Amino acid sequence: MEIKDSATLTRDVLEQHFSDLKGTLKKLLDERLMSLLQEVDVIEQESIKPLDECQKLIEHGVSTADDLLREGESAVDGDVGQQNEKLCNFTKKALHIQLDSLPEVPSLVDVPCLSAQLDDCLLTILKNQIFRHGTVASRPPVQLEEFVEKPGGILVRWCKVDEDFIPQDYRLQYRKSTASHFEDVYVGSETEFMVLHIDPNVDYQFRVCARGDGRQEWSPWSVPQTGHTSLVPHEWTTGLEGYSLSSRRNIALRNDSQSCGVLYSKAPTYFCGQTLTFRIETVGQPDRRDSLGVCVEQRNGDDSLQRDKAVCISTNGAVFVNGKEMTNQLPAVTSGSTVTFDMEVVQLGPCSNEGGNFKLRVTISSNNREVVFDWVLDQCCGSLYFGCSFSYPGWKVLVF
């Protein structure tokens, strides 16, 4: 079925492309023809003007001589009394008319002779180019490899399947399954991309192609594949005075308000086994009390996640577990930095909702460095809140 669908699509693309090409070529040829015809008109008008003027002068002289000749004949044929007067008038006119002078007529070498110079080699060049234009490929050099569900997003991975193909760039497109057109979502050299703003439990189609090293044209598209996420997107809590949120509430900006506190997630949407990602879009002035992290519960009145029942990283790279600073430290957070939290459950002793030891193996990564530690809690936690706090304005953070 996929073969028939791709064959039908390829036929449609080829027919549309060559139809557009024929229309464009006809338009270009018509424009060139009009240009040459206008050039002929201009040369014709400029060259024939002096000849027309010469012809008019000659015709005027011939007409004048003819009139004078008839007047002379009338003078000779009249009676004697009128004859002398007519002959006198005739003589005066004849003396004032220059019948022996003619305008200068251009020589034949100065008169243009138009012709069309058409080189048949154009047809040969076009024929050679046309016969080499376009190819039909049965196997694209790259294919989609994996879809990883993320909260409000899908991590898409692809791979090269043609060993002889040397890729320079990749191009990823997607669309809702109900949409008719694909749109670009990524162009670059990486082989994976996090597609955000994905509606939960909605199917999306993806396809990828590549551009060879030193080439301008893109390869054929991969076989379209369907992906979706069942995980609701992470959202910041609305209404905290010190922070402005994006329309999707996944981006928080520390504004100029003097109000300071921790901005928490709307709900405990982080689950163990997932990767929680903070991406720093812009930075402000750092402060040692700044924090990005995960906590068991929302707690009003705190100015930082550097407290009990929370793990976090400060903007200077210091890592805190239950309010205590670790010896190991990560690089300072900068614009474009990505900070990730990964957790897995390591259970100690009996665990129930009433209490018991509960341990999570936590990995925090930032700028190609990571720290790993165990976070011991006194209660089971199926899901966790995330949060951030910044003392100074200008910090903008995206969560996914």
pLDDT of residue 277: 94
pLDDT exceeds 90 at position 8 = no
- Which tokens hold the place of 93? 């006119």
- Which tokens hold the place of 54? 């010469």
pLDDT of residue 89: 72
pLDDT of residue 75: 66
Give the list of residues 6+ apart from residue 81 with CB closer than 8 angstroms, or none: none
In a domain, 235, yes or no: no
pLDDT exceeds 60 at position 355 = no
Average pLDDT, rounded, for the chain: 87
Which range, 139-148, 161-170, 387-396, has the best average confidence (pLDDT)?
387-396
Residues 163 and 283 in one domain: no
Residues 170 and 58 in one domain: no
Lowest-confidence segment of 87-91, 208-212, 256-260, 290-294 by average pLDDT: 87-91
- Do 175 and 160 meet the contact criterion of CB atoms below 8 Å apart? no
Averaged pLDDT for residues 261-273 = 93
In a domain, 161, yes or no: yes
| % of the chain residues with pLDDT over 90 | 53
In a domain, 233, yes or no: no
pTM (global) more than 0.85: no
pLDDT exceeds 70 at position 20 = yes
pLDDT of residue 313: 97
Single residue among 174, 201, 227 that ends a domain in this structure:
227
Residues 78 and 149 in one domain: no
pLDDT digits (tens, 9 = 90+) for 300-321: 889 999 999 999 999 999 999 9
Residues 287 and 340 in one domain: yes
Residues 262 and 386 in one domain: yes
Confidence of residue 175 (pLDDT cuts 50, 70, 90): very high
How many domains, in total, are found in the chain? 3
pLDDT exceeds 60 at position 350 = no
Distance CA 240, CA 251 (A): 13
Residues 117 and 49 in one domain: yes
Q: In which domain, by residue range, is 346 found?
A: 243-399
Residues 375 and 271 in one domain: yes
pLDDT digits (tens, 9 = 90+) for 331-348: 999 999 999 999 999 875
pLDDT exceeds 90 at position 206 = yes
User: Which CATH number is 254's domain given?
Assistant: 2.60.120.920
pLDDT digits (tens, 9 = 90+) for 78-107: 666 666 676 677 677 767 776 556 566 666
- Which tokens hold the place of 242? 């010190």
User: Which 3-state string (H, E, C) describes the chain?
Assistant: CHHHHHHHHHHHHHHHHHHHHHHHHHHHHHHHHHHHHHHHHHHHHHHHHHHHHHHHHHHHHHHHHHHHHHHHHHHHHCCHHHHHHHHHHHHHHHHHCCCCCCCCCCCHHHCCCCCCCCCCHHHHHHHHHHHHCCCCCCCCCEEEEEEEEECCEEEEEEEECCCCCCEEEEEEEEEECCCCCCEEEEEECCCEEEEECCCCCCCEEEEEEEEECCCCCCCCCCCCEEECCCCCCCCECCCCCCEEECCCCCEEEECCCCCCCCEEECCCCEECCCEEEEEEEECCCCCCCCEEEEECCCCCCCCCCCCCCEEEECCCCEEEECCEEEEEECCCCCCCCEEEEEEEEEECCCCECCECCEEEEEEEEECCEEEEEEEEECCCCCEEEEEEECCCCCCEEEEC
Residues 257 and 394 in one domain: yes
Single residue among 132, 150, 185 that ends a domain in this structure:
132
pLDDT of residue 103: 61
CA 125 to chain centre: 33
| % of the chain residues with pLDDT over 70 | 88
Residues 250 and 393 in one domain: yes
pLDDT exceeds 90 at position 130 = no
pLDDT of residue 63: 78
In a domain, 232, yes or no: no
pLDDT exceeds 70 at position 119 = yes
In a domain, 236, yes or no: no
Residues 87 and 55 in one domain: yes
User: Which CATH number is 210's domain given?
Assistant: 2.60.40.10
Single residue among 227, 258, 289 that ends a domain in this structure:
227
In a domain, 237, yes or no: no
Residues 307 and 223 in one domain: no
pLDDT exceeds 70 at position 352 = no
Averaged pLDDT for residues 167-186 = 94
pLDDT digits (tens, 9 = 90+) for 35-86: 999 988 888 888 777 777 777 777 777 777 777 777 767 767 666 666 667 6
Residues 128 and 146 in one domain: no
